[in-house]
Structure 1
């Protein structure tokens, strides 16, 4: 599946015109109908002479048609996540130099100082003009600018070419071809590159049907609210062959099975990524009928670079590198080379250099990549021990009664944790679970204290990234007194 120099629309000429391609809440399009809709929208975009546009819409056919129409028209697309704050939307609009926004929610933009009025409708999406456009220096061949939530409140634009996106999808399609995955249900927002490329694009390259109902019908709202009963009902209804999940979603599905839900036999492959997943949780999920396989990737590489597969699997590892890229570990840090981003909006990338991911890891003798944490997140205890908080957190979060856990202990004599238990969980139950976890950990990594968080950590509260990872510096500042209280005895004894 060599796609250099092609768009996805060009690569999708082979499926029969009458084969099902895209299903939404109220419509089912064949490949022939999909290509026709893409062509009509691309012609409208070319008539309007738009070079950079934003896309803010619920999951559905319109989102994906707009995405592909931009590729055909040569228009740079900037996906706008539904959970971005007004300040983040304003930053993204200005930084990317977008000239207009396609949206199904005009009211979301009426209060932004950068936006004007809706001037047209394109395939049931309103086109909102940006009166004062700031020209952005995009790298040549930029097709999409995906904004990551970053480590601060200001998102950072990753510039991607068609080649990088499509060759990532093609590498995944080659690996998954033997599984016969012909029905993919989009659960993550399509503005998430992982669902966009590894979900929709990969499924189409396999000649499959992409099912993209609205996020509300899946029980998803905001960046972290999930009605698991509604999600299970949607999976039962659509009978997908494949899904992509975040770790917390997997945990909730496992809990649902424990409570009586039975995963449909149609499921053949469930990819889980976006954070470390404990091997025990993966094995437990499989025993319960969920064919889960962990992967690893980053936006700068078009989403996925390593993946476990049936017959090439190591629970607890992130998988072997996909054939379109290379991975090595230097001084404990994971480096990647292969199809990659063109640069950030403010910084061009060297296409031949190894990309420093910032992730800590190792490659075992069988070639599996093991991610152990983030370089910048390493805790160094007052006794000089280097500790990855993600390692401890993944063990704590195996409990179905603990929703969130953030381990602290930098420059402290021992590790402690801020924990948000599920409502109705008493502290004694958490104490008992932490005692069990501590039996698996060396003494320097054991949790000596914990405190309950007064409320869950959220993206809207600026304490989680868009994919649910804790913003550790902001959490440490917000809950400084709570953290200090876990070390009062240590201060007294010293």
Structure 2
């Protein structure tokens, strides 16, 4: 798109809205919204043009948006609504609104979304400058409210839009929930600023159900239909797409950028995707920074998470922790004001000679083996997750000579397939980061059994509580083997 001025638009199952149509509808809806009291407006809905119109409407009305993922439980939604003091709720699900104690407010609506009010809601003092509140699912149950400013969010979108223009992105397909900051800010908003078309079908049409169920066949069909230039995927979604194409399904055509974030990605998976015509590029970000901090380009080699976006600066502490400096985070809901200075991320990393950032793990997850080697479990986990045989995995090994893994296979695979996956991952790892023993999990890690959060993030402590004794037995048995137990020398 170098030198060419394009006009942004939004597309969905019912057609295309150009910039003029979007502006007219947003202006009218913002005037209607101002007739109702409530600083914070919650948004709980499936993906679609109406979601983006509602987002812009809340901004135009000078209110604060509280996006709620549809995969949040009712308890989590109530917690977020109460913590933010949200009196208004835009949703496409009247039954859910009723369950959350909200009543319809007529006649304000945004397409399929209706406006509901919540009575007897106590006001909440928000950090100065708050424009959007995003709730992380957390690893211990109740989500945490991160308050973000217009300056932060705009800076991220402008930086990513610059990359989109450089790569000639004309159409972006939303594959993640818009309630997730990454898709909202770095996907939809950046596409708009870049003059691209943003396609927002319902999530089921791109293969995503809930927080962590993904159908690669549906996703590939959506890619064939819409022919986008760019996508944002989670690592597990990329793994599933690569496995589906490897199995014989047609590869997507015409993609210029597939940004992958949310968890560490194996360089081997990135390479396999690129060979299949999927220009996968790992990135790195966090909610407190407004989503993206760094992003690789298709011309960059796999490994690392790319160069830091131009509106930010990154430095490393004496412990190797990544510190991010740039537009300020207003704060957290119900928490004291943040201290001045760069934002500590809790992530360990390094900068290479080309200025590319590498994230090697989490400070609180770091394992020290009995040989005194420091290992971030995310490293071997990413190598294992690069295998189509592995759906989920958690690695342990504190004060042990080798690492141990609890593995959830993809489908009803034989032990030999998992053995091969572990052996292949070990071949790409140094000896101190290899898996010495592993257990086949009894069932997938899920919110239902308490081993994952509602957005699919594994709860390491809960997995250890469930499997720790059996892992200890493996170490004690040496090379003994039993049901669901495997030892590698």
TM-score normalized by the length of structure 2: 0.92
Mean Cα displacement is larger for which, 214-223 or 169-178?
A: 169-178
Q: 1:389 aligns with which of 374, 377, 386?
A: 377
Match for residue 235 of structure 2 among 227, 236, 247: 247
- Do 2:165 and 2:194's aligned partners in 1 also have CA atoms closer than 8 Å? yes
Structure 2 residue corresponding to 1:415, chosen from 388, 397, 403: 403
C-alpha deviation, 1:20, in angstroms: 5.7
Q: Which residue of 2 aligns with 1:195?
A: 183
Offset of 1:338 from its aligned partner? Answer: 0.4
Aligned to 2:102: 116
Question: By how many angstroms is 1:490 displaced?
Answer: 5.8
* Structure 1 match to 2:487: none
The alpha-carbon deviation at position 15 of structure 1 amounts to: 7.6
- Judged with a 3 Å threshold, the aligned counterparts in structure 2 of structure 1 residues 414 and 149 are, in CA distance, closer, same or farther, namely same
1:432 aligns with 2:391: no
CA distance in 2, matches of 1:102, 1:146: 16
CA distance in 1, matches of 2:339, 2:158: 20
Secondary structure of 1:128 counterpart = strand
Partner of 2:467: 479
Per-residue CA shift, 1:101-135, capped at 9, x if unaligned? 111112224334xx132233512312222112122
Residue 439 of structure 2: which of 443, 451, 454 is its match? 451
Superposed CA deviations along residues 71-98 of structure 1, whole A, max 9, x for unmatched, are 1101111000111112211211111110
After TM superposition, the structure 1 = structure 2 runs for residues 295-334 of structure 1, keeping only pairs within 5 Å, are 295-311=283-299, 313-330=300-317, 331-334=319-322
In the TM superposition, what whole-angstrom CA distance separates every residue of 1:260-291 from its partner, at most 9, and x where no partner exists? 23334321111111111111111111111011
C-alpha displacement of 1:373: 0.6
Relative distance call for 1:263 and 1:119 in structure 2 (3 A) is same
Query: Does the CA-based 8 Å contact 1:184-1:208 persist in structure 2?
Result: yes
Q: Which runs of 5+ in 2 are unaligned?
A: 481-489
Against the structure 1 CA distance between its residues 198 and 459, is the aligned structure 2 distance closer, same or farther, given a 3 Å change threshold?
farther
Cα deviation digits, residues 445-464 of structure 1 (max 9, x gap): 22221111122112454433
> Does the 8 Å contact 1:342/1:351 carry over to 2?
no
Contact 2:315 2:322 in 1 (8 A): yes
How far, CA to CA, are the matches of 1:116 and 1:361 in structure 2? Answer: 45
Structure 1: gaps spanning 5 or more residues: 1-13
Give me the whole-angstrom Cα distance separating, in 1, the residues matched to 2:19 and 2:259.
25
**TM-fit CA distance, 1:222:** 0.8
Instruction: Tell whether the 8 Å contact from 2:280 to 2:298 is kept in structure 1 after alignment.
Output: no
Q: Does 1:370 align with 2:364?
A: no
Cα contact 2:8–2:193 (8 A) shared by 1? no
Of the structure 1 ranges 416-425 and 478-487, higher mean CA displacement relative to structure 2 is found in: 478-487
Aligned to 2:213: 225
| TM superposition shift of 1:437 | 2.5
- 2:222 is aligned to 234
Deviations 1:416-446 (A, max 9, x none): 1110112231012212332333233333322
Q: Can you list the C-alpha shifts for 1:41-97, whole angstroms capped at 9, x where unaligned? A: 111111112211110000001111111101110111100011111221121111111
Question: 2:389–2:421: 8 Å Cα contact kept in structure 1?
Answer: no
Change (3 A) 1:204 1:338: same
Between 1:194-203 and 1:47-56, the stretch displaced more is: 47-56
Q: 2:127 maps to what in 1?
A: 139
CA–CA distance in 2 between the matches of 1:389 and 1:109? 40
- Residue 253 of structure 2: aligned partner: 265
Q: Please, which moves more after superposition, 298-307 or 255-264? A: 255-264
8 Å Cα contact 2:83-2:334 kept in structure 1: no
2:36, 2:456 → 1: CA distance?
Answer: 37
| Distance in 2 between residues matched to 1:75 and 1:141, nearest whole Å | 11
Distance verdict in 2 for CA 1:273–1:349, change over 3 Å: farther
Give how far 1:488 is off.
3.6
**How far apart are the structure 1 equivalents of 2:438 and 2:183?**
35
Counterpart check, 1:21 vs 2:1: no
Assess, with a 3 A threshold, how the Cα gap between structure 1 residues 460 and 438 changes in structure 2: closer, same or farther.
Answer: same
Q: State the SS of the aligned residue for 2:225.
A: helix
| Cα shift readout 1:293-348 (whole Å, capped 9, x = no counterpart) | 1111111111111111244x231110011110001111211110002421001235
TM-score of the superposition, structure 1-length normalised? 0.91
1:3 is matched with which residue? Answer: none
Aligned pair count reads 474
SS of the residue corresponding to residue 487 of structure 1 reads: helix
Q: Assess if the C-alpha contact under 8 Å between 1:186 and 1:199 holds in 2.
A: yes
